[in-house]
A and B are shown apart, each in its own frame.
Chain A
Amino acid sequence: MADEHFDRAEFIAYFRDEAEELLHRIDADALKLEQSAAAGKADPETVNALFRALHTIKGNAAMLGFGETARLAHGLENLCDLLRTESVALSPVCAELLLRGRDLLSALVAAEPSGGTIPAALPAFLERLSGIEQKEASPDRAPQAPAEATPRTVAGLRRQTIRVDIDRLDLLLNLVGELVINRTRISDLAASLSRTDGEEPLRKALLESAGLLARTCGEIQESLMKVRMVPIGRVFERFPRVVRDIAKARGKEVRLEVSGAQTELDKTIVDEIGEPLMHLLRNCIDHGIELPEVREREGKPREGTILLNAYHAGNQIVIEMSDDGGGIDFDRVRARAIAARFIAPEERLTEQELLELIFRPGFSTAENVSELSGRGVGMDVVQKAVTHLKGFFTVESEWKRGTRFQIKLPLTLAIITALLVRVGKALYAIPLDVVVESQRIESAEIRSVASNEVVTVRDQIVPLIRVAEFFGTDVARDPEKAMTVIVSVQGRNIGLVVDVFEGEQEIVIKPLSDLVGRIPGISGATILGSGAISLILDVHALVADAYASGKAARAELATAET
């Protein structure tokens, strides 16, 4: 009995997952139909795809006893059948019906399995659907399921896939992490053996074996990472519909062009980047793209364009969203910033600095608080989400020409290369991708500006943070011999003063237990080959801290003076 229940729960979860995926596709296809509705002719491929997706949902829902879901899917399926046989001509009304039907179906898929409320609009909608059927369908034929359109044949054509519980993957990844740690340890041992006068053949054998282990480990790690990779297109899929709906509500004409949807990145990141991107998209339509009349006056096409692009660049994925709208009005940003007391009226800021203001919580330049965005939940939300994913977020804008948002994210969050440093007794890891350079800095080079320490590196004034002081832990051993790591986040450099460099290492990021709480400046911890624990420095936070505390401003002041 218990087993049966378990199976049912699993089936329902599967049903929902699959239905959600199919609903995204239905969305995209229904939109395509809407666009071709003006021509009155439906693309048979699209209609067929719609039919198949609805058919699958209907079948699964009926099997699990979700009657309402099955009935609605059936009704929509019939409509597609009529379109396919051209018993009904494709019209804007028809397309609207499909889109509305999809939304209802989406609500039902969420509500019916969990015993939620069935949308009140459902009966009326079903009636409308069957009205079309009775009116338009020729009386001598009943809707029939086409032989070639069963989901099974489609599955045969698709690539073989398997659904795996993400927890199982994480467990596997954790084990590989252990393997990587031990690999490092064996390499270390082999290396130290080669320094002492060990047995020559033994030494060679061990080195060889360590090398082999390293290669295998690397390959396992890589393929396991790939398992977690999913195309970002999963997130992009729902955007065309969103653009259509918002643009319609705002009385704007907007076209979304998507490229690079097949670019892959870690599933956790894909799951979390959807919301911020959606927010940016709303922002582009609400604040970016102008009304058609305004655009015409500006000599632009009535229809605004939003380009959404994703591509890999080294160890990162770059997601770009740009619009050809009005751009950011820096004067207005300034005025708002002064009104919100973010800056003083006499303060002079560069355009870049003004842009950074829109990342501040509670900032919005929208004249009227719109229903969809501009309610004070602004760019700071996006900024926060991106920072949480260890990424970077930048904005460029040109008045009257448009705005470009760029998000850079790491491909994965699990394993990184880090520079290990020692401060007192503690070992810290600094993610290598933010390290610019590391060097010894003589104490004579350190200057004090407004009681903050700075150094000049290649003509640039860099604020220093003494890691030991920052964390209030062990005092650095010998300030004369201190080493400095220059790190850079979004073009801002700071120097981290540490005792000794301990080399680079691949590390597996482990979260610190939440019982320890969130520690400013620490993003996690890792276990090294020796079994020792090293804390990972949260360089984003350290840089933000250094700049927020005004060190940077004073440092720049110092440049101006010299």
Chain B
Amino acid sequence: MSESVQVATFRLGSEEYGVDISQIQEIIRMVEITRVPRTPEFVEGVINLRGQLIPIIDLRKRFGMDRVEPTKNSRIIVSDIGTKRIGMIVDSASEVLTIPLDSIEQAPEIVAGLDADYLQGVGKMGERLIILLDLTMVISGAQRRELEDAG
């Protein structure tokens, strides 16, 4: 049997994305987000997750997509990046898929708004195309921009 990865999939707009489940701590429903002033624009605020304060970023904004009001399908993907815990808002979370490595292709250059460094590839599952993300890179990219903003 060939090797494979397990990914949790979620939607942003019309695209379907996948993240290696080892990068995901939990997926929770939308809760009230406390806005924090004077933060980079893609930082939505912080939430209280069982007594811990977790910063929330809006992946739509991060990827330069239009902002939408949260719906009942909206979810927050909680992920540990290094020693830091962070939550990311997505339109909806779907399922956990096992994708064989040989059905993952190099990402085409033209995936709207995505930096190549957090794009791991595109998984093909029948008709479905799943964009595979490396969340650690999503954040370090975010921090980079934050630093640029500060400077």
B51, B53, B54, B146: the one contacting A517 at CB < 8 Å is B146
Q: Is the CB of B40 within 8 A of A525?
A: no
Q: Which segment, of B5-13, B31-39, B109-117, faces chain A?
A: B31-39
A542: min CB distance to chain B, Å: 13
Q: Which of A471, A515, A521, A525 contacts B86 (CB 8 A)?
A: A515
Known contacts: A513-B53, A515-B139. The answer to whether A522 contacts B46 by CB under 8 A is: no
- What chain B residues lie within 8 Å of A426 (beta carbons)? 34-35
By the criterion CB–CB under 8 Å, are A472 and B36 in contact?
no
Please tell me if B68 contacts chain A, counting CB pairs below 8 Å. Answer: no
Q: Which residue of B lies closest to A515 (CB)?
A: B55
- Contact indicator B53/A525 (Cβ below 8 Å): yes
Q: A514-B84, A516-B43, A517-B146 are in contact. Are A527 and B51 (CB under 8 A)?
A: yes
With A426-B35, A519-B39 as contacts: A533 and B47 at CB distance below 8 Å: yes
Judge whether B150 is part of the interface by a CB distance below 8 angstroms. yes
Give, as a whole number of angstroms, the nearest-CB distance from B147 to chain A.
9
Inter-chain contacts of A519 with B (CB < 8 A): 36-39
Of residues 125 to 151 in B, which have CB atoms within 8 Å of A's CB atoms?
A: 139, 142-143, 146, 150
Chain A's nearest CB lies how many Å from the CB of B74?
A: 19
* Interchain CB contact under 8 A, A512 and B51: no
Most chain B CB neighbours (cut-off 10 Å) among A178, A510, A515: A515
Beta-carbon contacts of A309-331 to B below 8 Å, as 1s and 0s?
00000000000000000000000
Q: Is A115 an interface residue (CB 8 A)?
A: no
Asked if A535 contacts B34 (CB within 8 A), the reply is: yes
Interface residues of A in 287-335 (CB under 8 A from B): none
Number of interface residues of B (CB under 8 A): 25
- Tell me the smallest distance from the CB of A533 to a CB of chain B, in Å: 4
Query: A516, B46: Cβ atoms under 8 Å?
Result: yes
Query: How close is B49's CB to chain A, nearest CB, in angstroms?
Result: 10
Report whether B38 and A521 are in contact in the complex, using a CB–CB cutoff of 8 Å.
Answer: yes
**B22: CB under 8 A from chain A?**
no
Task: Indicate if the CB atoms of B36 and A522 lie closer than 8 Å.
Answer: yes
- Cβ of A473 under 8 Å from chain B: yes
Say yes or no for B4: interface residue by CB 8 A criterion. no
- Bound CA–CA A516/B42 (angstroms): 10
Give the CA-CA distance A522 to B143 in the complex, in Å: 19
List B contacts of A525 (CB < 8 A): 34, 36, 46, 53
CA distance A533 to B47 in the complex (A): 7
Chain A positions 469-514 with a Cβ under 8 Å from a chain B Cβ:
471-473, 510-514
| B39, B40, B143 pick with most chain A CB within 10 angstroms | B39
Alpha-carbon distance between A510 and B85 when the two chains are bound, in angstroms: 14
Q: Is B73 an interface position by the 8 A CB rule? A: no
Contact (Cβ within 8 A) A522 B37: yes
CA distance A520 to B53 in the complex (A): 19
Chain A nearest CB from B118 CB (Å) reads 15
Whether the Cβ atoms of B35 and A512 lie closer than 8 Å is no
Question: Is A531 part of the contact surface with B, judged by Cβ < 8 Å?
Answer: yes
Given A513-B54, A522-B36, 8 extra CB contacts under 8 A: A174-B51, A181-B51, A473-B35, A513-B84, A513-B85, A515-B84, A522-B37, A533-B53
18 A–B pairs (Cβ distance < 8 Å), ordered by A: A177-B51, A181-B51, A473-B37, A512-B55, A513-B54, A515-B43, A515-B86, A516-B43, A517-B150, A520-B38, A521-B37, A522-B38, A525-B34, A525-B36, A532-B48, A533-B47, A534-B34, A535-B36
6 closest Cβ pairs, A-B complex: A471-B37, A533-B34, A513-B55, A516-B55, A515-B55, A519-B38
Identify the A interface with B (CB < 8 A): 174, 177-178, 181, 426, 471-473, 510-517, 519-522, 525, 527, 531-535
